[in-house]
């Protein structure tokens, strides 16, 4: 029963959140923005308006693979958003520009996330295998190390939340104040970004519940 609470239920939550964001993207990727600009054009324009001239905008393969790379200083947009002139594409492009602005303005949570990333990446790779090995061999040392590494990955997810919400807030401000969206288009763009943000919230909540499950096992409080 506790396995269902700590493991299966979180997976359902994450699945529902992912379904919601894909649904929102599908809906608003069929709604053309009145400015008739592509996502790439909007991203470049917003960067210029923000005084950022050393960040490039480029196309990347994949579906909803959009991201900002602080190391290479590039806003990468998936093909649909790079070439598309729809509400979903403009909202996501502005969101990634929001991350670039965070980077250039020294936004503290983004800096912390960048510092935590190497340990979190390691934890994401070896945390779960160590936990499984600890459980299989009844080795408390391996189990505890696995939990520690897994906790580092969860910490990264927690730090990511304010970074993502702040980038979305910046995006909506840039789009609305810059005249890229009409008042009637703002709610649609906001729904896309809100749905995307909820995937981070759901994933973090699921990871926290999974971490708690493993901690209880390590302490002998769950089976």
Sequential DSSP letters for 1-41: -HHIIIIIHHHHHHHHHHHHHHHHHHHHTTSB-TT---HHH
Per-residue pLDDT tens over the stretch 70-91: 999 999 999 999 999 999 999 9
Q: Tell me, rounded to whole angstroms, the distance of Cα 121 from its chain centroid.
A: 15
pLDDT higher than 60, residue 223: no
- Tell me the C-alpha distance between 157 and 148, whole Å: 15
Mean model confidence pLDDT for the chain:
94
Question: Given this model, what pLDDT does residue 125 score?
Answer: 97
Tell me the average pLDDT across 34-53. Answer: 97
Which residues are designated catalytic?
96
Question: Given this model, what pLDDT does residue 1 score?
Answer: 56
Supply φ then ψ for residue 6, to 5 degrees: -90, -20
pLDDT higher than 60, residue 221: no
Domain spans in the chain, listed from the N-terminal domain onward: 2-218
Tell me the average pLDDT across 161-183. Answer: 97
**Predicted confidence band at 9 (pLDDT cuts at 50, 70, 90)?**
confident
């Amino acid at each position: 029963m506790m396995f269902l609470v700590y493991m299966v239920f979180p997976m359902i939550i994450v699945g529902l959140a992912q379904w919601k964001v894909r649904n929102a993207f599908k809906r608003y990727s069929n709604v053309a923005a009145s400015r008739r600009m592509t996502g790439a054009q909007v991203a470049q324009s917003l960067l210029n308006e923000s005084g950022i001239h050393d960040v490039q905008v480029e196309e990347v393969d994949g579906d909803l693979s959009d991201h900002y790379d602080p190391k290479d200083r590039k806003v990468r947009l998936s093909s649909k958003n790079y070439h598309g002139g729809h509400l979903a594409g403009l909202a996501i492009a502005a969101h990634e520009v929001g991350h670039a602005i965070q980077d250039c303005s020294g936004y503290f949570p983004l800096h912390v996330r960048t510092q935590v990333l190497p340990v979190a990446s390691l934890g994401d790779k070896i945390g779960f295998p160590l936990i499984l090995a600890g459980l299989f061999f009844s080795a408390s040392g391996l189990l505890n190390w696995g939990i520690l590494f897994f906790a580092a990955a969860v910490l990264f997810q927690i730090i990511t939340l304010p970074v993502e919400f702040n980038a979305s807030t910046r995006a909506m401000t840039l789009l609305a104040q810059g005249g890229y969206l009409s008042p009637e288009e703002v709610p649609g763009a906001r729904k896309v970004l809100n749905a995307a943000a909820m995937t981070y919230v759901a994933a973090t909540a699921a990871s926290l519940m999974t971490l708690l499950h493993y901690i209880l096992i390590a302490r002998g409080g769950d089976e």
